[in-house]
């Protein structure tokens, strides 16, 4: 069921295999076994893409509920020992992961018996995993659905243009986003909510960005920019930490694209002792 849910969410057997840490043929076999057991075709295969059939959408809804209940059962069983042992499952976005480092270290010092299980992916995937009960806490990009999530602030910044130092933007401190209409863009991997913010900002100024590359890794995005493949819009603080060698960094003069990371958890979800201890640690440190 978990294999099917991952394929249905991502639309890809390859991505599902990466998230489950198994091979693609293993995922295909597991989904095929589920289809045979239920006597229904659950996925439409079209090359590398897969999408749920009508039966698949029904099974997906029930499957997410079953997985959430199983995760809650494991969490509640671990509660029998309080904070002496157990686990805490946290979703960490690749952009903004640095803000978790200090907290991870502090939590480990306070609660050495709790295993920290980290799920690194874009905000959309983290949101889905939170709602499915696979994660207890996760970093999401504002704005979030406050009807479904509670949250605490983690980091706030805004996007800046990052281009090769030798480009036309190399001598500029400020650019207008509208000036970039003809530039090739490097965006984030699918599942990153920040892609939507960038597309919305560009479209509000009358153009759609020409995407020439995508990555979920900041280092690779910066390497592609240095190589002249395209320009990128990145959080100012993340670029400063990564280093600006051979890069031009320019403020956007005609629009502000905010980047605000919050730690979120489902309003209706069950929070373990470990999750509540994490939140208490954050609040105690002024986070």
Inform me whether the pLDDT recorded for 75 exceeds 80: no
Residue 61: other Cβ atoms inside 10 A: 11
- Give the phi and the psi of residue 36 in degrees, each rounded to 5: -65, -40
Question: What is residue 2's three-state secondary structure?
Answer: helix
pLDDT in tens, 20-30: 778 888 889 99
- The pLDDT of residue 177 is 94
CB 16 within 8 A of CB 10: yes
Mean of pLDDT values over 57-68: 88
User: Which segments of 97-187 does DSSP mark as H helices, in order?
Assistant: 98-110, 123-131
Inform me whether the pLDDT recorded for 174 exceeds 50: yes
Confidence of residue 14 (pLDDT cuts 50, 70, 90): confident
Mean of pLDDT values over 280-287: 73
Tell the burial category of 199 from Cβ atoms under 10 Å away from its Cβ (0-12, 13-18, 19+): middle
- The pLDDT of residue 171 is 87
Helix (H) or strand (E) holding 137: strand 137-141
- The pLDDT of residue 43 is 93
What does the DSSP 8-state code read for residue 256? -
CA gap 274, 268 in Å, rounded:
17
- The pLDDT of residue 178 is 94
User: Which segments of the chain does DSSP mark as H helices, in order?
Assistant: 2-10, 13-20, 24-38, 54-78, 98-110, 123-131, 193-204, 218-226, 236-242, 273-284
Beta strand 258-266 with 149-164: parallel, antiparallel or unpaired? antiparallel
Question: What is residue 11's three-state secondary structure?
Answer: coil
- The pLDDT of residue 287 is 45
Confidence of residue 46 (pLDDT cuts 50, 70, 90): confident
pTM of the model: 0.69
- The pLDDT of residue 111 is 87
Percent of the chain with pLDDT over 90: 45
Question: What are the tokens at 262?
Answer: 């919050």
Inform me whether the pLDDT recorded for 40 exceeds 80: yes
- The pLDDT of residue 286 is 47
């Amino acid at each position: 069921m978990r294999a099917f849910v991952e394929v249905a969410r991502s639309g890809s057997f390859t991505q599902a295999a990466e998230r489950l840490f198994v091979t693609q043929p293993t995922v295909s076999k597991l989904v095929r076994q589920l289809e045979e057991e239920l006597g229904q075709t659950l996925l439409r295969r079209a090359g590398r893409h897969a999408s749920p059939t009508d039966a698949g959408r029904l099974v997906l809804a029930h499957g997410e509920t079953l997985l959430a209940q199983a995760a809650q059962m494991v969490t509640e069983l671990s509660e029998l020992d309080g904070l002496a042992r157990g686990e805490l499952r946290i979703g960490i976005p690749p952009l903004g992961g640095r803000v978790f480092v200090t907290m991870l270290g502090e939590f480990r010092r306070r609660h050495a018996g709790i295993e920290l299980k980290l799920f690194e992916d874009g905000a959309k995937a983290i949101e889905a995993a939170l709602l499915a009960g696979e994660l207890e806490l996760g970093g999401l990009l504002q704005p979030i659905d406050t009807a479904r999530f509670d949250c605490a602030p983690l980091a706030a910044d805004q996007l800046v243009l990052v281009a090769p130092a030798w480009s036309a933007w190399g001598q500029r401190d400020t650019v207008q986003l509208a000036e970039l209409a003809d530039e090739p863009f490097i965006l984030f991997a699918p599942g990153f909510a920040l892609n939507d913010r960038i597309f919305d900002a560009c479209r509000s100024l009358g153009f759609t960005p020409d995407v020439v590359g995508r990555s979920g890794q900041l280092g690779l995005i910066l390497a592609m920019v240095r190589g002249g493949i395209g320009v990128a819009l990145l959080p100012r603080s993340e670029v400063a930490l990564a280093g600006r060698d051979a890069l031009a960094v320019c403020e956007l003069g005609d629009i502000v694209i905010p980047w605000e990371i919050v730690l979120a958890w489902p309003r209706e979800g069950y929070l373990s002792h470990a999750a509540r201890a994490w939140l208490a640690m954050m609040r105690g440190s002024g986070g």
